[in-house]
Structure 1
Amino acid sequence: MNYLMDANTYIQAKNVYYNMDFCPAFWDWLEKQFQAGQVMSIDNVYLELTDSTDTLSQWAKAHQAHFISVADTATQATFTDIANYVVSLKGKSPVDIANFLSKADPWLIAKAVTTGATVVTHEKVVDAASKKVKVPNICQQFNVSYINTFQLLTQLQAQFVLGN
Structure 2
Amino acid sequence: MTYLLDANVFIQAKNLHYGLDFCPAFWNWLIEKNAAGQVFSIDKVADEIAAGADELTDWIRQHNGKLFRKTKPHIVDQFGKVSAWVTGQGYEPAAISTFLQVADFYLIAHALAEAHVVITHEVPANSTRRIKIPNVCTGLGLHFMTPYEMLRREQARFVLGGV
TM-score range, shorter chain: over 0.9
Per the alignment, residue 6 of structure 1 pairs with 6
5+ residue gaps in structure 1? none
Q: Match of 1:124, as an amino acid?
A: V
Distance, in Å, in 2 between the alignment partners of 1:149 and 1:3 is 10
SS at match of 1:102: coil
1:142 Cα deviation from its structure 2 partner:
1.1
Distance, in Å, in 2 between the alignment partners of 1:98 and 1:20 is 34
Task: Report 1:52-71 matches (<5 A).
Answer: 52-64=52-64, 65-71=66-72
- Is residue 145 of structure 2 the alignment partner of residue 110 of structure 1? no
- The size of the alignment, in residue pairs, is 161
Q: Note if contact 2:85-2:140 (Cα within 8 Å) is conserved in structure 1.
A: no
- Is residue 122 of structure 2 the alignment partner of residue 123 of structure 1? yes
Distance, in Å, in 2 between the alignment partners of 1:160 and 1:69 is 30
Per the alignment, residue 159 of structure 2 pairs with 161
1:109 Cα deviation from its structure 2 partner:
0.8
Distance, in Å, in 2 between the alignment partners of 1:105 and 1:126 is 15
1:89 Cα deviation from its structure 2 partner:
2.4
SS at match of 2:4: strand
Root-mean-square deviation (CA, aligned residues, Å) is 1.4
Per the alignment, residue 137 of structure 1 pairs with 135
Distance, in Å, in 2 between the alignment partners of 1:98 and 1:15 is 29
**1:48-87 deviations in whole A, cap 9, x for unaligned?**
1111211111000000120011122x21121122112212
Q: Which moved more, 1:77-86 or 1:45-54?
A: 77-86
Q: Match of 1:136, as an amino acid?
A: P
Distance, in Å, in 1 between the alignment partners of 2:6 and 2:107 is 7
Q: Match of 1:158, as an amino acid?
A: A
SS at match of 1:59: helix
Q: Match of 1:162, as an amino acid?
A: L
Distance, in Å, in 2 between the alignment partners of 1:150 and 1:18 is 12
**1:74-117 deviations in whole A, cap 9, x for unaligned?**
21121122112212321x23222222111110111111111111
Q: Which moved more, 1:118-127 or 1:74-83?
A: 74-83
1:126 Cα deviation from its structure 2 partner:
1.1
Distance, in Å, in 1 between the alignment partners of 2:55 and 2:46 is 13
Distance, in Å, in 2 between the alignment partners of 1:18 and 1:86 is 33
Distance, in Å, in 2 between the alignment partners of 1:95 and 1:18 is 34
Distance, in Å, in 2 between the alignment partners of 1:124 and 1:147 is 9
Distance, in Å, in 1 between the alignment partners of 2:145 and 2:107 is 13
1:130 Cα deviation from its structure 2 partner:
4.0
SS at match of 1:75: helix
Q: Which runs of 4+ in 1 moved over 4 A?
A: none
